[in-house]
Amino acid sequence: MSSNPASSSTGRYSVFAIAREAMRLHSGWKRAWTSPEPRKKYQVVIVGAGGHGLATAYYLGKNFGITDVAIIEKGWLGGGNTGRNTTIIRSNYLQDPSAAIYDKALKLYENLSQDLNYNVMFSPRGLLMLAQTEHEVRGYKRTVYANQLQDVATEWVTPERIKQMLPIINIDGPRYPVLGGLYQERGGTARHDAVAWGYARACSAMGMHIIQNCEVTGIETGAGQVKAVNTGKGRIECDKLALVVAGHSSVMAEKAGFRLPIESMALQALVSEPVKPSCDLVIMANTVHGYLSQSDKGEMVIGGGTDGFNNYSQRGSWQHIEETIRALIETFPMLSRLKMLRQWGGIVDMTGDRSPILSTTPVGNIFVNCGWGTGGFKAIPGSGWAMAELVAKGQPGPLAAEFGLDRFKEGRFIDESVAAGVAH
Ligand SMILES: Cc1cc2nc3c(=O)[nH]c(=O)nc-3n(C[C@H](O)[C@H](O)[C@H](O)COP(=O)(O)OP(=O)(O)OC[C@H]3O[C@@H](n4cnc5c(N)ncnc54)[C@H](O)[C@@H]3O)c2cc1C
């Protein structure tokens, strides 16, 4: 197994490579990943080239030496929720299984640029979840205690400290005064496209096939086992199949003949015009359902809540934009002076307990990774790591063990809905 698969066939990125290419007018850069025609058969087929599908493929190669892998994507890689989110990364979850997998992801993020030899622009600028009701004060203080037991460093901060950390904030709002906050210094953001591109480049370098513009339209099974997938580019056989399609998970499961406890709905985000640096933290205001960070370009990146009805639209509804901004303006009055430039949506895959599913399924050798809902960008490396183990060994390792489908039958929920407020 290569310790740095990213560096083999695509050429290693380095200061020397930049200097060399500058000398020859940048004519020598290789394509970051190839676009092959599919073979008839692969050991593992992964449906969905979002962050979770690509990371699963990467750790299958890196940790288990399995490289006979195809990642099949109906659109373009990273064009789903992975390229549409507000990029918040944190691991301050309440329940132990959640803290374990999200903190594994955060630790991998901390070294991901080096591991992939690709700058994912990980920016651990600190993450603050505002408590604006007594309920949140109690919930976040409880989370701080839980995090201490989980060895995840978080702290409770006072309103005065918050004002010092973030001068643009109004802590005295009449409806939603800031009563304190849950702070994780290691939290932050990363560039979402770069995460997908970095994993894609590394997978391609290991000889895996990323097949874009190729929809999986059917799943063939026989004797309770997966046989093949039918796609826009023909039938592809596989020994193992991983379904990693976020908002389309229940559609895909139906094709294999089983059901998933997933609801799909649109979640949206928007960005303002660029302004000078004024917000160097990631802020979550869960009571009013608003999230805020400032991009390197200066835009305020803002996320809101999900639509209140199931749908498969990648736009989101108008009233949510208005509600999100209206709610945030009390706490961040400067937003009232900003023009909003762009808005978009993604189809998120929600479970009842707001925790993911990493699981075997009723069909032999079909595995699912879904249910990350509104908060799976931060989990990509940890999820890929755990999913690769599940696919390679046919059973979950310690990180995925609690996230099986059987928990919905047995009532063993991993309830993150209250402590996380919502789950970005
Ligand atoms: C507006 C918004 C804001 C968010 N903010 C945050 C945040 O701040 N922090 C955070 O941690 N998370 C956030 N999330 C959630 C996060 O984006 C997702 O949990 C994560 O990106 C899911 O990644 P994925 O790889 O599972 O799914 P995706 O990136 O959606 O990838 C699934 C892929 O499957 C493909 N696919 C579907 N059906 C088929 C088919 N039949 N055949 C072939 N391919 C198929 C799709 O085209 C898609 O590319 C946000 C999401 C949205 C929409």
Q: What is the pTM of this model?
A: 0.96
Those residues whose C-beta lies under 8 Å from the C-beta of residue 19, and which sit 6 or more positions away, are: none
CB 180 within 8 A of CB 140: yes
What homologous superfamily does CATH list for 38-118+191-260+357-410? Answer: FAD/NAD(P)-binding domain (3.50.50.60)
Residue 422: per-residue pLDDT: 53
Q: Write the CA distances from 146 to 100, 127, 260, 413, 416, integer angstroms.
A: 12, 17, 30, 17, 13
Which residues of the chain does CATH 3.30.9.10 include?
127-185+263-350
Ligand 1 mean position, distance from CA 379 (Å)? 11
Distance in angstroms (rounded) separating the CA atoms of residues 290 and 334: 15
Q: How many residues does the chain have?
A: 424
Which residues of the chain does CATH 3.50.50.60 include?
38-118+191-260+357-410
Distance in angstroms (rounded) separating the CA atoms of residues 278 and 23: 39
User: What is the atom index within ligand 1 of the atom nearest the CA of 346?
Assistant: 53
> Which among 76, 85, 355 is the best mutation to test ligand 1's pocket, defined by most ligand atoms within 8 Å of the CB?
85
Distance in angstroms (rounded) separating the CA atoms of residues 72 and 1: 24
CB 181 within 8 A of CB 156: yes
SS3 content of the chain, % helix, strand, coil (to 5): 35, 25, 40
What homologous superfamily does CATH list for 127-185+263-350? Answer: D-Amino Acid Oxidase, subunit A, domain 2 (3.30.9.10)
Q: Give the β-pairing of 88-89 and 69-72.
A: unpaired
> Which among 377, 380, 385, 422 is the best mutation to test ligand 1's pocket, defined by most ligand atoms within 8 Å of the CB?
377
CB 304 within 8 A of CB 268: yes
Measured CA angle at 203 (ends 197, 209), to 5 deg: 105
Distance in angstroms (rounded) separating the CA atoms of residues 242 and 44: 8
CB atoms within 10 A of CB 410: 8
Ligand 1 mean position, distance from CA 81 (Å)? 3
What residues of the chain score a pLDDT lower than 50?
1-9, 419-421
Residue 338: per-residue pLDDT: 96
Those residues whose C-beta lies under 8 Å from the C-beta of residue 5, and which sit 6 or more positions away, are: 58, 61, 62, 202, 203, 205, 206
CB atoms within 10 A of CB 165: 16
For ligand 1, which residues put their CB under 6 angstroms from it?
47-53, 72-75, 79-82, 84-88, 215-216, 244-246, 248, 252, 267-269, 303, 346, 348, 372, 374-378, 424
Ligand 1 mean position, distance from CA 220 (Å)? 25
Residue 133: per-residue pLDDT: 95
Provide the residue type at 72 as one letter: I
Residue 322: per-residue pLDDT: 87
Residue 292: per-residue pLDDT: 95
